Structure 1
Amino acid sequence: MQDDIQKEVENKKQMANASLNPVNSDTYFLVAKIAGAVVGTISFAPCGEDIRSCTGNQLNDVGELGSLYVLPSYQGQGVGSALIKELMAYLRKQGIDQFCLDSGYKRAQTRWLRKFGEPYKAVKDYWGPDSVHMVWFCKVSDYITGKR
């Protein structure tokens, strides 16, 4: 599991660095700061390989909400919700009306089920026995108008 985490961290670093030059990047990053310190991140980029695989390439043209991380000491204080709200406003301004996201982590899945409802796809044993990988397909307008 440590190798998977390290690969994920390296991938996110590369995405963040690439997004600093918008001419060469199709990734958009937002950060949340409190008292000058970064306490959370969120990104929007083309959907990743896990989503493509889980959906049989049905969502290839839909962008992915990803890299939503909040420091543990700031979790449960609305930082993640504020990041999602700001990202939705950005997507709306860009004329983007849908997005997807995925998770294989049980703790995150519990939060996403509350926030985004039932997943579009749930693939059993995706990461091994007793693991489920979930993919959500959502409308930006549902999170702008407060339907969700």
Structure 2
Amino acid sequence: MGKEITIRIARPSDAELACRVFDLAIPEAFEQEGLGHLIEDIAHELAAKRRVLQACLLKEDSVSCWFLVALLGENIVGTISYGPCGEDILNCTGNALGNVGELGSLYILPEYQGQGIGSVLIRAAANRMASQGIQRFSLDSGYRIAQQKWLNKFGKPYAVVPDYWGAESAHMVWLCEVKNYIGS
């Protein structure tokens, strides 16, 4: 990689470059899953991530919702967010995690994936959560490839819902202790 990654809270001026990460990483994730033909689902996911980003950027309460961006020079190469628990987590847990915030929107530009940027973003997010007194977070995934990564990083899921996205397409939810992911 050469240059050092910088992590910071997203600014309104970052919206366009953060959306570029979504525009490239989300279709790529669908393609890797063999779901590249689901154009409407990709469009829905892109729109949802844009809405979350805009809501966080406009929100004055930086404890309940925020985005971090990973920069390589001036270029945003990754994102991660924290906010209220999402609908899929609520559905998969029978609302049991409704009072636990969600770590989400972890996307890395395809050409920078596999270089540790996601781990740096998770650590930075955990540090921010710890500084805000947040002790636990949830996260979820329906992407099989991401699920394998999260099983290695976060361990056994809190909930697994088989066939959530269709035959043999499970959704997994994790409940994590912030203290286990903080660091420098």
**TM-score interval for Structure 1 and Structure 2 normalised by the shorter chain:** over 0.9
> Counterpart in 2 of 1:32?
70
For residues 12 and 33 of structure 1, the distance between their equivalents in structure 2, rounded to whole angstroms, comes to 19
Match of 2:126 among 83, 88, 96: 88
1:14 CA drift (Å): 1.3
Consecutive unaligned residues of structure 2, counting only runs of 5 or more, are 1-37
User: Separation in 1 of the partners of 2:124 and 2:139?
Assistant: 16
Alpha-carbon distance between aligned partners in 1 of 2:39 and 2:83, rounded to the nearest angstrom: 25
Structure 2 residue 180 is the aligned partner of structure 1 residue 129: no
One-letter amino acid of the counterpart of residue 179, structure 2: S
**Separation in structure 2 between the aligned mates of residue 82 and residue 111 of structure 1, nearest angstrom:** 14
**Residues 1:11 and 2:48 aligned together:** yes
| 1:71 maps to 2:109 | yes
- 2:87 match: 49
CA distance in 2, matches of 1:10, 1:97: 30
Aligned length: 146
Question: For 1:20, what is the secondary structure of its paired residue?
Answer: helix
CA distance in 1, matches of 2:46, 2:183: 33
Q: Distance in 2 between matches of 1:17 and 1:120?
A: 29
Q: Please give the TM-score of this superposition, normalised by the length of structure 2.
A: 0.76
Q: Which protein, 1 or 2, shows the higher relative CO under an 8 Å CA cutoff with sep ≥ 6?
A: 2
Q: Tell me, yes or no, if the aligned pair for 1:54 and 1:135 is still in contact at 8 Å.
A: yes
Q: For 2:56, give the aligned amino acid.
A: S
TM-score, normalised on structure 1? 0.94
Between the aligned partners of 2:182 and 2:127, the Cα distance in structure 1 is 7
Note the C-alpha offset of 1:139: 0.2
SS in 2 for 1:23: coil
Identity, in percent, stands at 53
**Does structure 2 conserve the Cα–Cα contact (< 8 Å) formed by 1:18 and 1:24?**
no
State the alpha-carbon separation in 2 of the partners of residues 35 and 90 from structure 1. Answer: 22
Distance 1:2 1:144 in 2: 37
Counterpart check, 1:107 vs 2:158: no
Higher normalized strand content (fraction of residues): 1
Q: Deviations over 1:59-86 (max 9, x none)?
A: 0000000000001111111110110010
Gaps of 5+ in 1: none
